[in-house]
Amino acid sequence: MISKRTIEKVFETARVEEIIGDFVQLKKSGSNYKGLSPFTEERTPSFMVSPAKQIWKDFSSGKGGTVITFLMEHEQYTYPEAIKYIANKYNIEVEETERTPQQISEDNEKESLFLVSDFAKNYFKKNLFEEEGKTIALSYLNERKFKKNIIEKFEMGYSVKIKDDFSKAAVDAGYKLNFLEKTGLTIVKDSENIDRFRGRVIFPIKSMSGRILGFGGRILGSSNNLAKYINSPESLIYQKSKVLYGIFESKQSIVKNDNCFLVEGYTDVIKMHQCGISNVVASSGTALTENQIRLINRLTKNITVVFDGDAAGSRAALRGIDLILGQGMNVKICNLPENDDPDSFVSDRSLKEVESYLVENSKDFIVYKASLLLSDTQNDPVKKAGVIRDMVESISKISDQIKRELYIKECSSIMDISEQVLYSTLAQIVKKDFNNLKKIPRKEYEPISIIKTDKDKNQVDELYELERKIIEILILYGNDSIDYKEEVFSENSDGDTDIKTKNRSVKVFEKIYMDLHTDEMEFSNEDFKNIYYQIIESFNENKEINVDKFINELSEKQQQVVANLVMDNEKYYLHDWEKNNIYPKSKKDSIAQLTVETILNFRCYLIDKKVDGFKEQANTEQINNGNLEEVVNYSKLKKLLSDKLNRVL
51, burial (CB in 10 Å: exposed 0-12, middle 13-18, buried 19+): middle
Residue 477 lies in a domain: yes
Dihedral sign (CA 38, 42, 43, 44) = negative
Residues 621, 600 within the same domain: yes
With the CA atoms of 171, 177, 183 and 188 taken in that order, what torsion angle do they form, in degrees rounded to the nearest 10? Answer: 110
- Among 62, 89, 116, the domain-final residue is 89
Question: Both 485 and 627 in a single domain?
Answer: yes
CATH number of 11's domain = 3.90.580.10
Give the CA count within 13 Å in the CB-facing half-sphere of 43. 7
Question: DSSP state, 571?
Answer: G
pLDDT over 70 (residue 492):
no
- Asked if 113 and 236 touch (Cβ cutoff 8 Å), the reply is yes
Phi/psi-derived region of residue 448, left when phi > 0, alpha when psi is between -120 and 50, beta in every other case: beta
List helix spans (H) across 397-507.
401-415, 419-431, 434-437, 459-477
Q: Is residue 492 located within the same domain as residue 554?
A: yes
Q: Indicate whether 222 belongs to any domain.
A: yes
Same domain, 472 and 583: yes
Give yes or no: residues 47 and 131 share one domain.
Answer: no
Which CATH number covers residue 151? 3.90.980.10
Q: For residue 414, what are the domain limits?
A: 376-437
Do residues 614 and 478 both lie within one domain? yes
pLDDT digits (tens, 9 = 90+) for 401-427: 788 888 888 888 888 888 888 888 888
- Look at residue 263 and tell me if it is in a domain: no
> Does any domain span residue 265?
no
Claim to verify: residue 33 and residue 67 sit in the same structural domain: yes
543 in the same domain as 432: no
User: Which pLDDT band holds residue 547 (cuts at 50, 70, 90)?
Assistant: low
Do residue 469 and residue 424 come from a single domain? no
How many alpha carbons lie under 13 Å from residue 187 in its C-beta half-sphere?
Answer: 10
Identify whether 304 is part of a domain: no
Q: CA distances (Å), 572 to each of 78, 232, 385, 445, 447, in order?
A: 32, 52, 46, 8, 13
> Which distant-in-sequence residues (6+ apart) come within 8 Å of 572 by Cβ?
442, 443, 444
Q: Quick check: is 430 in a domain?
A: yes
Pairing between β-strand 186-189 and β-strand 157-159 as defined by DSSP bridges: unpaired
Comparison of pLDDT for 330 and 98, the residue scoring more: 330
Question: Same structural domain for residues 85 and 107?
Answer: no
- What's the pLDDT at 113? 94
Characterise 261 by phi-psi region: left (phi > 0), alpha (psi -120 to 50), beta (else): beta
Q: Which of 407, 437, 467 is the last residue of a domain?
A: 437
445, 595 in Cβ contact below 8 A? Answer: no
Asked whether residue 140 falls in the same domain as residue 27, the answer is no
Per-residue pLDDT band for 260 (boundaries 50, 70, 90) equals very high
Residue 492 lies in a domain: yes
Examine the fold and report which residue of 172, 207, 238 is the final residue of a domain before the chain moves on.
238
User: Rounded distance, CA 206 to CA 330, Å?
Assistant: 25
Longest CA pairwise span in the chain (Å): 86
Report the relative pairing of strands 302-309 and 330-338 from DSSP bridges: parallel
Q: Is residue 285 part of a domain?
A: no
Give the pLDDT band (50/70/90) at residue 628.
Answer: low
Domain count for the chain: 4
DSSP code, position 96: B
Q: 440 versus 66: which is more confidently predicted?
A: 66
In a shared domain, residues 589 and 612 = yes
Q: What is the pLDDT of residues 365-398, one digit of tens each?
A: 888 878 776 766 667 788 888 888 888 888 888 8
Phi first, then psi, for residue 534 (nearest 5°) are -70, -35
Question: Would you say residue 60 has pLDDT above 90?
Answer: no
What is the DSSP secondary structure assignment for residue 136, as one 8-state letter? I
